Structure 1
Amino acid sequence: MQHHHDAQNPPIHARVITVSDRSARGERPDTSGPRAVERLEADGYLVDSALVPDGVDSVAGAIGSAIRSGARLVITSGGTGIGPRDLTPEGTRPLLSRELPGIAEELRREGARNTKTAVLTRGLAGIAGDPPGSLVVNLPGSVKAVDEGLDVLLPLVPHILSQLDGGDH
């Protein structure tokens, strides 16, 4: 579903944040972030990306920076599991004014259809930033999870942003 933008409807700014100690140290190439960028650009978003190490402060800082820069859609990839450094939800939650648990539940349900361990992912979805607000969604850190997650998410985003901007249901 391509967004049509013109002078009245400029492209929506999105930011993809990869959360990975190993990628941040240069030990492993980031594959999930570029896949998310590619998918969002194909859907008509104006996309930029960031790469940060795991951690509450690094995640919160990157999301806050994305929102201040005007991103209406912020996708994180990585740090949603149960390992000791998987702290993306903890970095995300304090920034959310309203959680959207149905989206997070659907992302897990869809992931679990193919990967049983997807039920262990702890990603959040919600609204952050000053009104009208931005949609923030945590996805797991694999290309497959990003693809599955965006399949669920992309059809919903225009409706969510329209609602935030005061549109009709």
Structure 2
Amino acid sequence: MQTHNHVHENTKRVRAAILTISDTRTLDTDVSGEHICSLLKAEAHTVTYREITKDDPIEIEAAVRRMVDEKMDVILTTGGTGITKRDVTIETIRPLLDREMVGFGELFRHVSFTDDIGPAAMLSRALAGRIGDTIIFSMPGSRGAVDLAMTRLILPELSHIVWEATR
């Protein structure tokens, strides 16, 4: 399979929103959200919003819809992707998607399995897709999972994915 190199599409700087989904984190204790912010800024992307919301479907949906309405290029969520009763991120975000990027979750679990946590990777329900012209990635809440997703999967293709979503 041959890949097409979209060099000019990969240079777009994106407007990003970071949404941490947690009943316990604050901006001071949110190491995963802060790490996402630092990684985006290191790539010269703009972080427009950084918020924390409870593991509550109504609050999560309201925050995501507000960020989409504000024309964010990408929303990066962290937290609430596990299998506990309080993990409702996926059930809340999936119905909002116009298109799901199933490859993200598949690749995230594969890389997590082979390079990081082994069979515990099956507990992850990482998700990505498009809502209108906005891309959304939902990652687990741990800093290690965020680092893996951002550095190995999201950042290398972020500008290209945003370009594809808006053409």
What TM-score results when the alignment is normalised by the length of structure 2? 0.86
How many residues align? The count is 154
Residue 23 of structure 2 corresponds to: 21
Residue 122 of structure 2 corresponds to: 119
Residue 49 of structure 1 corresponds to: 50
In the aligned structure 1, how far is the partner of 2:78 from the partner of 2:96?
Answer: 17
In the aligned structure 1, how far is the partner of 2:113 from the partner of 2:66?
Answer: 32
Check conservation: 2:135, 2:165, Cα contact below 8 A: no
Answer yes or no: is 1:103 the counterpart of 2:104.
yes
Letter in 2 for 1:20: S
RMSD, matched Cα: 1.7
Letter in 1 for 2:24: R
- Aligned residues with identical type, % of pairs: 31
| Runs of 4+ in structure 1 over 2 Å off | none
In the aligned structure 2, how far is the partner of 1:84 from the partner of 1:111?
Answer: 23
Shift of 1:65: 1.2
Shift of 1:71: 0.9
In the aligned structure 2, how far is the partner of 1:149 from the partner of 1:86?
Answer: 19
Shift of 1:55: 2.1
Check conservation: 1:58, 1:91, Cα contact below 8 A: no
In the aligned structure 1, how far is the partner of 2:62 from the partner of 2:111?
Answer: 29
Partner SS, residue 108 of structure 1: helix
What TM-score results when the alignment is normalised by the length of structure 1? 0.85
Shift of 1:29: 1.5
Superposed CA deviations along residues 125-148 of structure 1, whole A, max 9, x for unmatched, are 10002xxx1110100001111100
Check conservation: 1:109, 1:119, Cα contact below 8 A: no
In the aligned structure 1, how far is the partner of 2:63 from the partner of 2:110?
Answer: 27
Shift of 1:164: 2.1
Shift of 1:123: 2.0
- Greater share of helix residues, 1 or 2? 2
Shift of 1:118: 2.0
In the aligned structure 2, how far is the partner of 1:71 from the partner of 1:137?
Answer: 13
In the aligned structure 1, how far is the partner of 2:15 from the partner of 2:89?
Answer: 21
Superposed CA deviations along residues 70-107 of structure 1, whole A, max 9, x for unmatched, are 21111100000001100000111121000000111111
Check conservation: 2:104, 2:126, Cα contact below 8 A: no
Letter in 2 for 1:42: A
Residue 89 of structure 2 corresponds to: 88
Moved more, 154-163 or 79-88: 154-163
Structure 1: runs of 5+ lacking an equivalent:
none
Partner SS, residue 98 of structure 2: strand
